[in-house]
Chain A
Amino acid sequence: MKDIDKSFKKDTETDFPLREEMRPRKVTTPDGQVIDIDPLQDYFCQEPPKVHRKSYSAIVEGFYNWARANSLWILGFGTGCGAIEMRPLMTPRFDAYRYGIQWRPTPRQSNLLVISGYLSVKTLKRAIRAYEQMPQPKYVVGLGSCTINGGMYWDSYNTIKKLDEYLPVDLYIAGCMPRPEALLAGLMDLKKLIRKGEAEGANRYAENFDWYKANQKSVIKDWDMPDYSW
C-alpha cells in the first residue's frame, strides 16, 4: 500500500472553483417572489428536533417499549451492499415477519433505519433526511464493517467512515457483509435494547443536534435537495 502524500493539500478555490449551480443566487419562484438561494445551506433542518420525554408512568413506558420492540418497521432504504442481504429476510427462508419485523416504503411510518453498509456522501444526505422524517422513537442499525470504521472503503473519497459521527447508532453488526442470520440476531438484540428502554438515539440526536449537524455539514457541501427526494 502506498504511503499517503503528506504534502497533499486541497487548493480548491483557485484551481477548481465552485460549479455555477452551487453558488448563492437569486431565484424567482413560480408565484413571482424573488428568493435567495444558497445551495450550500441546509434549509430542511433549520428547526432542531425536539427531545421527547419518556412516559411518566414506568408501566406505560414499559408497555410501549414492548410494543415498539415487537413491531419494528424498517425503512426500505438500501443504502449500500448490505441491502441485498435484507431481501432474504423478507422472503421464505428467513421470514422476519414472524418476529414482528416489517418493511415500510416511507420514512414516516418506519422506526428503524438500517444503514446497510457504506454511505456515500450523496446517500448520507438522503439518509439524514429520511432519518429526520422518521417519527420518534427511531433507531439506527449500522450493518457491516463499513459503518463501523469505513471497512473496505476506508480510503475512499466519497464514503463516510464513522456512522456515529452523523447519526446516533444504536447497534452495529460486524461483517462484510453480515449474513441474514447475523442481521436477524442484531435485530433481536435491538429488540432487547428497546424493551430495556435503552434505545434513545432520537433523543441523543436532538440533544446533540448541533454537534451532529456540524459533522454532517463538514462532509456534505451541497444541501440543495429536491422535495421528497430521499
Chain B
Amino acid sequence: MRELIEHLTPRYSLGAPVFQRPGLTFVDVKRDKLRALLLDLRDKHGFTHLVLLTAVDWLEEGRFQLTYLLNNRAADQTLGLRLYLDRANPMGDTIHDIWPTAATYQRELREMFGIAFPGSPRVDEEFILEGWTDMPPYRRDFDTLAYSQQTFVERGGRETHEPRATMKHKLYPEG
C-alpha cells in the first residue's frame, strides 16, 4: 500500500496518507485529479469495488469531506479518498459512468447534504424524503431535535428534576 501511495502521490498530488490499519488507508485528493485517479485505481491497480461514497460535514471548517472508499478485493486493501468541497456551494463531480451504483450514493448526498452532482441520473428526484422543505437534514447545522419538536407533537405531562437542583431547593434553599 505504501508503495502504491508513493507511486501515486507525485502524479495526482495526494495529501499525506493516514495508515489507519493494515489494509485501510486514507488520503486527501484534489478535485481536478479525482477522476483520473479513480480510473487509474480501478483499471490499473485493481481497486474495482466502490465500497461507499459518503460525505462528512466539517461545519467549523466550512467544508464538506467526500469519502470515496475503494477496495482492491484481491489484495484486501481499502483506500479512502478524501475530497474537500467548499461548504457554501458544494458541487461534486459525478462518477456514475465509472461505477453506475455511485448514482444512488450521489442521489443520497444530493438530498441529505445538498451536494450537487450535475449529470448524475435522477439526482434531483426525491430519494428518501418526501415533501421535504427544510435544509438537507444531514448537515451539521440542521438540528433534528428542534425540528422534531417544532413539527411533531410529543406526549405531554412529563417533567424531570435534577438531583442537584432538587436537593438545593429542599435542603439548603438559602445558599
Consider the complex of A and B and state whether they touch directly, i.e. have CB atoms less than 8 Å apart: yes
CB contact list, B19-70 vs A, under 8 A: none
Q: Which of A5, A6, A40, A218 contacts B131 (CB 8 A)?
A: A40
CB distance from B120 to the nearest CB of A (A): 16
- The reply to whether B129 and A158 contact each other, CB–CB distance below 8 Å, is yes
Which segment, of A15-23, A77-85, A186-194, faces chain B?
A15-23
A149 at the B interface (CB under 8 A):
yes
A95 at the B interface (CB under 8 A):
no
- The reply to whether B131 and A161 contact each other, CB–CB distance below 8 Å, is no
Residue in A148, A158, A218, A219 with the greatest tally of chain B CB atoms within 10 Å: A158
- The reply to whether A16 and B155 contact each other, CB–CB distance below 8 Å, is no
Q: Which of A121, A161, A215, A219 contacts B155 (CB 8 A)?
A: A161
A204 at the B interface (CB under 8 A):
no
- The reply to whether B131 and A157 contact each other, CB–CB distance below 8 Å, is no
Chain B residue at smallest Cβ distance from A6: B146
Q: Which of B129, B135, B148, B155 contacts A12 (CB 8 A)?
A: B135
A160 at the B interface (CB under 8 A):
yes
* A156 and B144 contact, Cβ closer than 8 Å, known pairs A165-B153, A219-B152: yes
Interface string of A1-29 (1 = CB under 8 A from B): 00011101010100110110110000000
B137 at the A interface (CB under 8 A):
yes
Interface string of B118-159 (1 = CB under 8 A from A): 000000101001111111110000111111111111110000
Q: Which of B145, B147, B155 contacts A10 (CB 8 A)?
A: B147
CB contact list, A33-57 vs B, under 8 A: 39-40
Q: Which residues of A contact B149 (CB under 8 A)?
A: 4
CB distance from A79 to the nearest CB of B (A): 15
Q: Which residues of B contact A6 (CB under 8 A)?
A: 146
Q: Which of B131, B135, B142, B148 contacts A221 (CB 8 A)?
A: B131
- Alpha-carbon gap, A215 to B153, bound state (A): 9
CB contact list, A149-195 vs B, under 8 A: 149-150, 154-162, 165
Q: Which residues of A contact B152 (CB under 8 A)?
A: 150, 159-162, 219
- Alpha-carbon gap, A6 to B149, bound state (A): 11
Chain B residue at smallest Cβ distance from A40: B131
Residue in A22, A154, A157, A221 with the greatest tally of chain B CB atoms within 10 Å: A157
Listed in ascending order, the chain A residues whose CB lies under 8 Å from chain B are 4-6, 8, 10, 12, 15-16, 18-19, 21-22, 39-40, 121-122, 125, 148-150, 154-162, 165, 215, 218-223
Listed in ascending order, the chain B residues whose CB lies under 8 Å from chain A are 114, 124, 126, 129-137, 142-155
8 inter-chain pairs at a CB distance below 8 angstroms, sorted by A residue, are A4-B145, A16-B133, A16-B134, A18-B133, A125-B130, A148-B155, A162-B155, A215-B153
